[in-house]
């Protein structure tokens, strides 16, 4: 008989996940790093559906950082090929399951066929999705802020924005995640305990959940553990009780 997991008392509305540990998972098994990324891609798909089914409304996953270009050409090619496959299959499946997909970051360095498929998918999103999925691709939190500040400066110079009226809400509106709530909790498997340049502005008051499980081994049970831990947090946003 299939075991049922107890649901946490509170499900976060917005979740960020740093999908980490694919390479180490493969190395532990004497496998090529590319196989770790393939396994991790499958876990990504399952996690998206698990989050949607649990009631998460916004999910942002860290898929490829601005720093990941420093990896070997062989590993980058493997990641891009997995992305190609997912653009044709899994992301289309998400759309059919009423999940909208948005890619955040600078996608310009990717091959033209990948860019074209990304634009096609984003143009064909459901009107009233059950969940919004953000895929951070060639993304960095610092790069996002620089991009936002450049847009703001251009609008100031064009007379569309007054520098005296710039506040936190103004900055929010120029980010890739404009119009979306900040993540309630950021999950990072693999044993690392840092943000690694992920959603630096948005994570100001996010709760963090770190665990030693490597991403290819991450399961619904682990997701529920993270949510149960989040449900027990006392979120004061800098205030005192």
Residues facing 186 on adjacent strands: 16, 208
The three-state secondary structure class of 55 is: coil
C-alpha dihedral sign at 24, 42, 60, 185: negative
Residue 68 annotated to the active site: yes
Tell me the C-alpha distance between 53 and 227, whole Å: 13
Contacts for 146 with CB less than 8 Å, ≥ 6 apart:
none
Q: Which of 46, 53, 68, 197 is catalytic?
A: 68
Angle subtended at Cα 78 by Cα 73 and Cα 81, rounded to the nearest 5 degrees: 125
Q: Which of 20, 182, 184, 222 is catalytic?
A: 20
**Sheet with strand 99-104: strands edge to edge:** 99-104, 131-139, 58-65, 14-18, 185-188, 207-210
Indicate the burial class of 234 (C-beta count within 10 angstroms; 0-12, 13-18, 19 or more).
exposed
Indicate the burial class of 61 (C-beta count within 10 angstroms; 0-12, 13-18, 19 or more).
buried
DSSP 98: T
CB 175 within 8 A of CB 201: yes
The catalytic residue positions are 20, 68
């Amino acid at each position: 008989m299939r075991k049922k997991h107890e649901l946490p008392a509170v499900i976060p509305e917005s979740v960020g996940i740093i999908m980490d540990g694919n390479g180490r998972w493969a190395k532990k098994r004497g496998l090529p790093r590319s196989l770790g990324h393939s396994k991790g891609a499958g876990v990504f798909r399952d996690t998206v559906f698990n989050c949607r089914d649990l009631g998460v409304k916004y999910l942002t996953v860290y898929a490829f950082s601005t720093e990941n270009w420093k990896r070997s050409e062989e590993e980058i090619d493997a990641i891009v090929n997995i992305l190609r496959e997912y653009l044709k299959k899994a992301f289309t499946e998400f759309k059919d399951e009423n999940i909208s997909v948005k890619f955040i970051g600078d996608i310009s360095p990717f091959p033209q066929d990948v860019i074209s498929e990304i634009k096609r998918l984003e143009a064909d999103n459901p009107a009233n999705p059950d969940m919004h999925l953000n895929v951070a691709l060639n993304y960095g939190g610092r790069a996002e802020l620089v991009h936002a500040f450049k847009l703001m400066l251009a609008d100031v110079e064009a007379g569309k924005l007054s520098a005296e009226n710039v506040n936190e809400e103004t900055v929010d509106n120029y980010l890739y995640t404009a119009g979306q709530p900040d993540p309630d909790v950021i999950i990072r498997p693999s044993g690392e305990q840092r943000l690694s340049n992920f959603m630096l502005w948005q994570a100001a008051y996010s709760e963090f959940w770190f665990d030693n499980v490597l991403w290819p081994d991450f399961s619904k049970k682990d997701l529920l553990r993270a949510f149960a831990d989040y449900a027990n947090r006392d979120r004061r946003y800098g205030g005192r009780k």
